[in-house]
């Protein structure tokens, strides 16, 4: 699925304050390298349903066998292995006997201690890889997992590593066996070890995704083989909120445009971002924050939410809004399936101009039946003229006003809101009172 940096930022997939990002929320990896592989998985969305199902099934299998995951492999153990190959050692005996191992320990005590410590972590790492191969290849795993584990199996299929399989733990090795294994790791297995670590990073990325599914109570979406855009979600919520309100949503080719209204703070932006975030997660094989979700494969996801001006280039807010819409239209006018999310279109100009511009853009976009659109606006006045189009669905978020006090239930309702609450918010926050005292 195609997207861009603007959309990923709009949806908080990545964010400059990373703890407030979807990526950070999903990241349950155990290693720094696994975290970077997970980031790559986020950036490179999957392009067909079989690839997505492969990842879903991989995560399901990891969850099924999570108790057998080798927790002995940690970020610390991998850092020790890297350090082992960077350190300088006095030459070790290639085929140590009990005597030569004893003499090396006696005459090269610091090197012996460091080698023993490092080789112990390498032993645990290889042992963990062997366990992963045994546990996950015993059934018929998904193709991507099978391919990775089979590659790992070739790398650990060395006579010198049979001792790792035979011994329960590193301390069971004699000094001669330990020194011989350390010599092999250092002088004959460096490239293979680096490849195995890279393989483990991908496994760790999948492990982190699987743990996110269970820890965050996510559900795997169902993909529909369809040439038409379809999206149906039951009890969707925003992943980054502590106490979210859920929504139901259904869009298809015959009803492919949501015209969304409501006051500031009523929940429009949160709803739009929740939809975009869920569709994004579905396309990387992840579970989604909902009770159930069905969707077609989308070719792309674009948003127009957090547009900014550019003082350095002399570009106004409105100019950049126009450029973003222009680029969007040029990309989606290709017959492919896109999900387009637009929040408060044309905020950078006066109301009358914004109404005219918004109407023109909406009446153009609704001609594109191959894509789905959600557009929020304060300009409820333009909604009446749009009711002539059968594929537009009108939704709004309700605001309750009692004794000049505002409350928001964040429930999505049918229709068009005509709330005008800016003055009440100024009054509630005592801005009017402050001004009167000037």
| Sign of the CA dihedral with 303 first, then 307, 310, and 316 last | positive
**pLDDT for 313:** 46
Report the distance separating Cα 92 and Cα 333, nearest Å: 66
pLDDT at 380: 85
Q: What is the pLDDT along the chain (438 residues), one digit of tens a residue?
A: 999 999 999 999 987 666 689 999 999 999 999 999 999 999 988 889 999 999 999 999 999 999 999 998 999 999 999 999 999 888 888 889 999 989 989 999 999 899 899 999 999 999 999 999 999 998 889 999 999 999 999 999 999 999 999 999 999 999 999 999 999 999 999 999 999 999 999 999 999 999 999 999 999 999 999 999 999 999 999 999 998 999 999 999 999 999 999 877 778 999 999 999 999 999 999 999 999 999 999 999 999 987 655 544 445 778 888 888 999 999 998 899 999 999 988 877 788 888 898 899 999 999 999 999 999 988 888 998 899 999 999 999 887 766 666 667 788 889 998 766 666 666 766 777 777 777
* Domain 222-436 belongs in CATH node 3.40.50.300: yes
Dump strand ranges (E) for 354-417: 372-376, 392-402, 405-414
Q: Residue 421's pLDDT is what?
A: 61
Q: For residues 368 and 335, is the Cβ–Cβ distance under 8 A? A: no
Nearest 5 degrees, angle CA 61-CA 67-CA 69?
75
Secondary structure class of 391 (helix, strand, coil): coil
Nearest alpha carbon to residue 292 among 339, 226, 223, 222? 222
Among the listed residues 208, 205, 281, 214, the one whose alpha carbon sits nearest the alpha carbon of residue 64: 214
DSSP string, 340-367: EEEESTTTTS-HHHHHHHHHHHHHHHTT
Give the model's pLDDT for residue 126: 96
Strands 230-236, 292-296: pairing kind: antiparallel
**pLDDT score, position 189:** 95
pTM: 0.90
Query: How far is residue 38's CA from residue 44's CA, in Å, rounded to a whole number?
Result: 10
Residue 182 · residue 119 · CB < 8 Å: yes
pLDDT value of position 424: 66
HEC sequence for 36-65: HHHHHHHHCCCCCHHHHHHHHHHHHHHHHC
Instruction: Parse the chain into domains and list their residue ranges.
Output: 31-215, 222-436
| Closest to 90 in 3D by CA, of 117, 76, 110, 60 | 110
Return the pLDDT at 337: 96
Q: Residue 425's pLDDT is what?
A: 66
- Predicted pLDDT at 411: 84
The pLDDT value given to residue 422? 64
The 3-class secondary structure across 189-216, one letter per residue, is CHHHHHHHHHHHHHHHHHHHHHHHHHHC
């Amino acid at each position: 699925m195609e997207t861009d940096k603007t959309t990923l930022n709009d949806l908080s997939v990545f964010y400059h304050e990373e703890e407030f990002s979807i990526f950070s929320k999903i990241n349950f990896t155990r290693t720094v390298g696994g975290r970077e592989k997970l980031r790559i998985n986020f950036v490179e969305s999957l392009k067909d349903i079989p690839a997505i199902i492969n990842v879903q099934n991989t995560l399901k299998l990891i969850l099924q066998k999570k108790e057998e995951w080798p927790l002995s492999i940690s970020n610390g153990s991998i850092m020790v292995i890297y350090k082992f190959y960077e350190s300088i050692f006095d030459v070790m005996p290639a085929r140590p006997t009990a005597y030569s191992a004893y003499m090396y320990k006696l005459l090269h005590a610091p090197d012996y201690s460091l080698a023993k410590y490092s080789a112990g972590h390498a032993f645990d790492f290889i042992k963990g890889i062997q366990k992963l191969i045994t546990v996950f290849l015993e059934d018929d795993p998904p193709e991507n997992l099978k391919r990775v584990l089979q590659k790992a199996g070739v790398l650990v299929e060395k006579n010198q590593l049979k001792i790792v399989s035979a011994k329960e733990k590193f301390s069971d090795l004699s000094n001669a066996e330990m020194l011989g294994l350390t010599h092999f790791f250092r002088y004959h297995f460096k490239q293979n070890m680096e490849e195995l670590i890279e393989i483990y990073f991908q496994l760790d990325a999948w492990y982190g995704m699987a743990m996110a599914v269970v820890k965050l109570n996510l559900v795997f979406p169902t993909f529909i083989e369809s040439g038409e855009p379809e999206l149906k979600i039951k009890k969707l919520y925003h992943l980054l909120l502590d106490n979210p309100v859920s929504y139901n949503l259904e869009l298809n080719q015959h009803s492919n445009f949501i015209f969304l209204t409501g006051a500031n703070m009523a929940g429009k932006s949160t709803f739009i971002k929740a939809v975009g975030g869920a569709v994004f997660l579905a396309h990387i094989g992840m579970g989604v924050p909902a009770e159930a979700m069905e969707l077609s494969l989308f070719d792309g996801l674009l948003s127009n939410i957090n547009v900014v001006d550019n003082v350095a280039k002399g570009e106004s807010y409105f100019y950049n809004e126009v450029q973003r819409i222009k680029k969007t239209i040029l990309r989606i006018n290709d017959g492919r399936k896109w999900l387009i999310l637009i929040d408060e279109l044309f905020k950078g100009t006066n109301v009358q101009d914004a109404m005219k511009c918004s109407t023109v853009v909406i009446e153009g976009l609704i001609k594109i039946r191959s894509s789905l659109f959600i557009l929020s606006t304060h300009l409820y006045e333009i909604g009446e003229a749009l009711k002539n189009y059968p594929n537009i669905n009108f939704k709004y978020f309700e605001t309750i006003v009692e004794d000049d006090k505002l409350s928001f239930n964040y429930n999505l309702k049918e229709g068009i809101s005509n709330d005008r609450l800016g003055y009440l918010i100024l009054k509630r926050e005592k801005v009017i009172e402050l001004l009167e005292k000037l």
